[in-house]
Structure 1
Amino acid sequence: MARRGRGEQEGEQPSPDQPTVTLSPSAEFPGLGQDELAVLREVGQRWSAAMRDRPTDWDDLPLDPTLDRYRHPPTPSRFERLARIEMFKADEPGQLLATESATLPQNRAGQRLARVRRAILGPPLASTAVLQERMRKLIALPVLSSDLLSSVAYGPEALLAVLVLAGTGALALSLPLAGALVLLMIVVGTSYRQTVRAYPHGAGSYLVASDSLGPRFGLAAAAGLILDYVLTVSVSVAAGISAITSALPGLEPYTVPFGLLAIAVLLAGNLRGVRVAGNLFAAPTYVFIVAVVLLLVAGFAQAGMRGFEALPPPPVTAVEGLTLLVVLRAFASGATSMTGIEAVSNAVPVFKPVEWRNARTTLTWMVSLLVVLFAGLTLLIHLTGVVPRADETLISQVARHTFRTGPWYGIIQAATAMILLLAANTAYQDFPRLLFFLARDDYAPRRFLHMGDRLAFSNGIIVLSVTAAIIFLAFGGLTQSLIPLYAVGVFLAFTLSQAGMVVHWRRHRGRNWHWRAALNGLGSALCAIVLVTAAVTKFGEGAWVTVLAIPLLVLLASRIRRHYDRMHRALALRPPSVPGPDVGRPVLAGGSRDRAVGGDDQESEESPQDVRHLVVVPVARLNLAALRALAYAASLGPPVFAVHLSPEQEEADRFREEWRIWGDHLRLETIISPYRAVTAPLVQYLDALHMLRPDMVLTVVVPELMVRHPWHRLLHTPIDQRLRRALRGLPGVVITSVPVHLNR
């Protein structure tokens, strides 16, 4: 089950001073629990007995792990290798700090690619800048509401596109249905305000459903949101391109290339970081709000001049009868205007302090704007008498009717196209964070915990872009073809979130909990109606894809969790007297030695007496795999030391404390990697060590998890393979793997 937030307060308003869950780079390096620390202490005592007769004077190491920088600068054979040492600087006793240059690859091609990436995305940000990357309300509003507000450009049209199937007379139902949708918007929006108050650490529907209804319901909500965010990108880009081709029909053949280009721009913009993306994409949302308000004011002024009499729509022949099913289908289609209403509850940690309070204020602004724009546009469409057409959007028709001359029609269309194209930015904010929470709970690959160069969750952003581009390409960029897939996932998340809040209030009670539970119950019931209607009526139109995909995603997440559970059991620390599960013994002969052929240095270790060793053990976490690698390295005899890379100082201090509890049996060297790179700084450090003493054989001992199925490899980072590829050009460097077999 997902972890319960520390900010929860028995249904009361959380204290502003209460800590919230921070999306920290240290999430990749979870600490040990109290039970594990106790076992670690016991294991360390056994190490003390085993190493009693061995020399433990760390000063006897043949070189200084701090790279000997300040006492005896080395004389390099190549300038580049002197630069390796300059990539690190002394930070504290026993600790180095990796500079920005240490994150660059060693080979020239990799360095050129890295420079191009930095030219496009900007220089990397240090981990300490994570708080500075948060958004204030005026930036968060357009960033998180772009999806919600942009949906008014196609939500009313989706409603009318169903009603018009029953003929012109059925269009009169658009106003009462719009009123019902406005009620649903207010109820769900108010319910999510309560969610932000009860769960001030983000994760929205996934966390609420997991905490109150159970892990399976939480995964179902997460699966619905995942599909929603992917389709948000596809639908928003498709609608934006449609707005452009409505104004410029000659560009219609280029719908797909323009759509893929828009996704590429969104990808690059969001990889630049939260704050930069917010600054880039905030202005179009405000322009759209102003443009639509201007359209409403001008349109209602014209309608007022004729006494608010609705113009007759053009006659449309009915293709099916006006039945309850048609009405429910229209209601479910119009409800797509609510997609994105949950965005704030998922992104509370990106707000500046006080996070929950700023999030609730922003959510109130969002829902208020949604109600005004949706209700106003629906009423103006009714008064104008336009009907859905295949070659032009409704908002384009209303703008043409309202602004017959002047530049205002072009401004309206440009603003609509921009907000629709950039509406996908809401998904780029929430999708990677949802994957972060899933990965934190071991339901998604742990690489989604990693923050990229710009403190954005780059892996999640890339996955979202690629998946959305594939869907957009498969459906040819047609908005109406994509919308049937849209409602099921998002309203499943809405329904489970609201039902979870009912259970939350019943469990925690508190002041006025009956009214809160009743409000969430009403929201859950209304959302369930939309969910069932959309799933049944749009099943044949494409909703079957979503209905099938949700259980498959839940099954996949469960399989991933099962694998990680098996891994945790296999690697968990156990008292020496307690036999562990069948995780396999280290096959030490399976280690490999990569040696360069040729090169500047001569490899002359042709007999045992010619070999002088230095053993280095990279350690990320003190689990069973790490202790086996340390034990194997120590069995080779001195000189041996360990190195730990940390993304920030707090994590380094925590690891050193765990090392002390273990017994401090080997020297530990800590490197702070503030730009969160792991492999590149480790390679640069090992290269610098090799440069200091090229006459020694540098043996790097790393644990290697042997997984059951090939697809499990996608859930882990193969550090040993990356080190082999990076260091294969250095003579006298050995990479030894200590395999640890997971349960079969």
Structure 2
Amino acid sequence: MYSLMKRILIGKPLKSQAAGEQKLSKIKALALLSSDALSSVAYGTEQILIVLSVVSAAAFWYSLPIAGCVLILLMALILSYRQIIYAYPEGGGAYVVSSRNLGEKPGLVAGGSLLVDYILTVAVSISAGTDAITSAFPALYPYHVLISIVLVILIMVLNLRGLTESASILAYPVYLFVISLLILIGVGGFKLLTGGVPPAPEHTAIGTHVPGITLFLLLKAFSSGCSALTGVEAISNTIPSFKKPAAQNAARTLLMMGGLLAVLFVGVTLLAFGFGISPKPEETVVSQIASDTFGRTFFYYVIQAVTALILILAANTGFSAFPLLAVNLAKDKYMPRMFTVRGDRLGYSNGIIFLGVASMLLIWLFDGKTEHLIPLYAVGVFIPFTLSQTGMCVKWIREKPQGWKAKMPINIVGALISFTVLMILILTKFHLVWPVFVFMPIVLLIFHSIKKHYLSVGEQLRLMNETEPVEIKGNVVIVPIAGVTRVVEQSVQYAKSLSEQVIAVHVSFDKEKDKKIEADWEKLNSGVRLVILHSSYRSLIHPLDKFLETVEAKANAHQYKVMVLVPQFIPKKRWHTILHNQSAFLLRFRLLWKRDIVVATLPYHFKK
């Protein structure tokens, strides 16, 4: 049943040789990896206007130069990450750049920030998309958390089916969103240029000084507008997913994404100013622009639908980038090795499942409300932005390759602006972003603990020629029994085939029952000694522990190994398993932690 359901949901397993077929073309990669960045157009301008509205609508003209500054940072990031793609074609983005140029700790800070940020990407995107759905259908609001979790599961299953399949499905809504917004910007711009829109009475002319505007407020508005840059780094983390030449295709896709993001963001900002849009709690800026451009017509609802859809699909950027970043960290022994294992469809399924579960837990803990997650989301983006830009500066100074003097200013500008935005976010929203200073040390501690463990394991497993191997002369086999049955008879016979020294052990809770077991054991006539251990407190494990310590001490003295052979029932129907084997499971679990004891299981299959 499980295999059938898995086959229906995920599809048939793919051969390892088919890995090349799961690589992405530029068109599919643009849809798959740009959904997070492009979806930020839906709220980037709005975040700027919300900050400026603290003064008055007269301050809205400042949104234009602020958008220009965001555009400069976007250009610096795109050019810088393009350089990162060519410099580090194996992928890893900010983590690899920071690790190799700034050191282990900055690299782990960048990697940890991105991992957490991708979890937040999924949680924020899905929650925002769910808000759009419940706004259209208010009756669904009581179920918004459930709807969000269902959407996460759907996108997770889609990614488990493989890169090319998910990219093929996601390409349509992403490109529909881009085309719809380009039409909106084109038609809205035409109306503005031809005088089809009355001038906004509350807006002041560009360049007019507005009382109450401070540098701090402008910087806060700028940092809020930089939320439109989330997801820019995803392509540099996923270079191995591209078709060959991977680096060249990834760089071109990055430029296409940057161009589209710039056009859409600037277009929406210009229309918002031209139409005199003010942010409203009950209606988004994009919705107001579409309403003023088309009225409440069919095309207005198309724009609303594709906007909600891309906000949900923005989560897919996290599902694409998180597993590959986890692979890079796991290769460096900072995350469990299971993240390097490919699943049935050749994707890194453990990373996909982990991300899905973590994001669902986050949505549940925060009740699907995104306002407290977005500041953490932004900080998680700009920490690796700053570190990667700084790391590239260090690389150029250290290596001095041809043309480095022309590349250096791009990274310097990017590093300075990213650091400025990061500081503004921390200073202005510390009451919301303080958890960063709690969970980042915890994440780093986890990374170091995992690596310490792997290094310790490697040291213990390494062959040492100078040490003599311990000679083992034989086994002492212990067979725990609950009664005298056919299973016990079979287990004892098998144990005798392994060793001449076999001991059957029964832990007794009832002395009357012991007499029957002793009588049955004599009838069995197996030639094996039976030891009955009395347990006054009805514990199966404690008396057996003491007995094994005694046997182990004697066995070690004669260079014998102690083996515990545990009989186990295998029912014909799987659900019958819960009716058996609880004692065997507890016994095996406890014995696995004993250093010098071998634990073996002998299955006995029921026929009906």
User: Does the alignment reach a TM-score above 0.5?
Assistant: yes
Go from structure 1 to structure 2 and tell me whether the alpha carbon gap of 1:300 and 1:567 turns closer, same or farther (over 3 Å shift): same
Report whether the alignment pairs 1:241 with 2:93.
no
CA distance in 2, matches of 1:329, 1:598: 77
Are residues 729 and 323 of structure 1, via their aligned partners in 2, closer, same or farther at CA, if it must alter by over 3 Å?
farther
Counterpart among 433, 436, 455 of residue 543 in structure 1: 433
Following superposition, the deviation at residue 305 of structure 1 comes to 2.1
Q: Which residue of 1 aligns with 2:154?
A: 265
Question: What is the rounded CA distance, in whole Å, between the counterparts of 1:269 and 1:588 in structure 2?
Answer: 53
CA distance in 2, matches of 1:404, 1:139: 33
> Contact (CA 8 Å) 1:313, 1:386: kept in 2 or not?
no
- For the pair 1:115 / 2:115, whether they are aligned, the reply is no
Alignment match, 1:230? 119
How far 1:577 moved relative to its partner?
4.7
Q: Which residue of 2 aligns with 1:662?
A: none
Question: What is the aligned partner in structure 1 of residue 245 from structure 2?
Answer: 354
Q: Which runs of at least 4 in structure 1 moved beyond 3 Å after TM superposition?
A: 245-254, 307-310, 312-315, 584-602, 604-613, 704-708, 727-731
Q: Distance in 2 between matches of 1:222 and 1:592?
A: 49
Q: How does 1:73-84 map to 2 (within 5 A)?
A: none
Change (3 A) 1:127 1:167: same
* Whole-angstrom CA distance in 2 between matches of 1:314 and 1:252: 35
- Counterpart check, 1:163 vs 2:38: no
Partner of 2:352: 461
**Deviations for 1:387-424, whole angstroms, at most 9, x for unmatched residues?**
22222211112111211143101100111111110011
Residue identity in the other structure for 2:221: A
Q: Distance in 1 between matches of 2:474 and 2:280?
A: 70
Distance in 1, Cα, partners of 2:65 & 2:465: 68
**Equivalence for 2:551:** none
State how far apart, in whole Å, the 2-side matches of 1:438 and 1:707 are.
Answer: 32
Q: Aligned partner of 1:557: which letter?
A: F
Do 2:375 and 2:429's aligned partners in 1 also have CA atoms closer than 8 Å? yes
1:514 paired with 2:405, answer yes
Structure 2 distance, partners of 1:609, 1:232, is 60
CA gap of 1:574–1:183, structure 2 versus 1, over 3 A, is same
Residue 282 of structure 1: aligned partner:
171
**Aligned residues of 1:133 and 1:275 also touching (Cα < 8 A):** yes
Counterpart Cα distance in 2 of 1:165 and 1:589: 80
Whether the 8 Å contact between 1:594 and 1:728 is mirrored in structure 2 is no
CA distance in 2 between partners of 1:245 and 1:147 (Å): 21
The answer to whether the Cα contact below 8 Å between 2:475 and 2:560 also exists between their aligned partners in 1 is no
Closer/same/farther in 2, CA of residues 322 and 590 from structure 1, 3 Å limit? farther
**1:712-744 deviation line (CA, Å, top 9, x unaligned):** xxxxxxxx99x95xx63459xxxxxxxxxxxxx
Give 3-state SS (helix, strand or coil) of 1:132's partner: helix
**Using the alignment, how far apart are the partners of 2:465 and 2:128 within structure 1?**
60
Q: Which residue of 2 aligns with 1:182?
A: 71
Say yes or no: does 1:425 pair with 2:299. Answer: no
Structure 1 counterpart of 2:490: 603
- Cα deviation for residue 458 of structure 1 reads 1.5
**CA 1:608 to 1:288, structure 2 compared with 1: closer, same or farther past 3 Å?**
closer
Cross-structure match for 1:473: 364
CA distance in 1, matches of 2:92, 2:474: 43
User: Do 1:226 and 1:431's aligned partners in 2 also have CA atoms closer than 8 Å?
Assistant: yes
Deviations 1:4-24 (A, max 9, x none): xxxxxxxxxxxxxxxxxxxxx
The answer to whether structure 1 residue 205 and structure 2 residue 94 are counterparts is yes
RMSD: 3.3
Gaps of 5+ in 1: 1-111, 614-631, 638-682, 684-703, 709-719, 732-744
- C-alpha distance after superposition, 1:619-650 (max 9, x if no partner): xxxxxxxxxxxxx9xx999xxxxxxxxxxxxx
- Alpha-carbon distance between aligned partners in 2 of 1:418 and 1:588, rounded to the nearest angstrom: 67
The partner residue of 1:370 within 237, 257, 261 is 261
- Report the counterpart of residue 300 of structure 2 in structure 1: 409
User: What is the CA distance between 1:307 and its match in structure 2?
Assistant: 7.5
Query: Is residue 2:412 matched to residue 1:532?
Result: no
Show the counterpart of 2:587.
none
SS in 1 for 2:24: coil
Alignment of 1:550-699 (within 5 A): 550-577=440-467, 603=490, 606=493
Contact 1:223 1:554 in 2 (8 A): yes
2: CA distance, partners of 1:470 / 1:609? 52
**Cα 1:608–1:296 shift into 2, 3 Å:** closer
Stretch deviating more after TM superposition (150-159 or 354-363) = 150-159
Larger helix share, 1 or 2: 2
User: 2:535 aligns to what?
Assistant: none
Residue 343 of structure 1: aligned partner:
234
What's the offset of the Cα at 1:192? Answer: 0.3
* Preserved contact between residue 605 and residue 611 of structure 1 (Cα < 8 Å): no
Greater RCO between the two (CA within 8 Å, min separation 6)?
A: 1
Deviations 1:676-702 (A, max 9, x none): xxxxxxx9xxxxxxxxxxxxxxxxxxx
Which residue does 2:329 correspond to in 1? Answer: 438
Identity %: 39
Matched, 1:385 2:260: no
Distance 1:346 1:171 in 2: 36
Q: Give the TM-score of the pair, scaled to structure 1.
A: 0.64
Number of the residue aligned with 1:302: 191
Give the alignment partner of residue 377 of structure 2, picking from 466, 478, 486: 486
SS at match of 1:353: coil
1:660 maps to which residue?
A: none
1:738 equivalent in structure 2: none
What amino acid maps onto 1:568 in structure 2? G
TM-score by length of 2: 0.78
Please state how far the C-alpha of 1:120 moved relative to its aligned partner: 0.9
Paired residue for 1:252?
Answer: 141
Give the secondary-structure state (helix, strand or coil) at the position aligned to 1:728.
strand
Note the alpha carbon deviations across 1:282-303, whole angstroms, 9 max, x for none. Answer: 2110010011111111111211
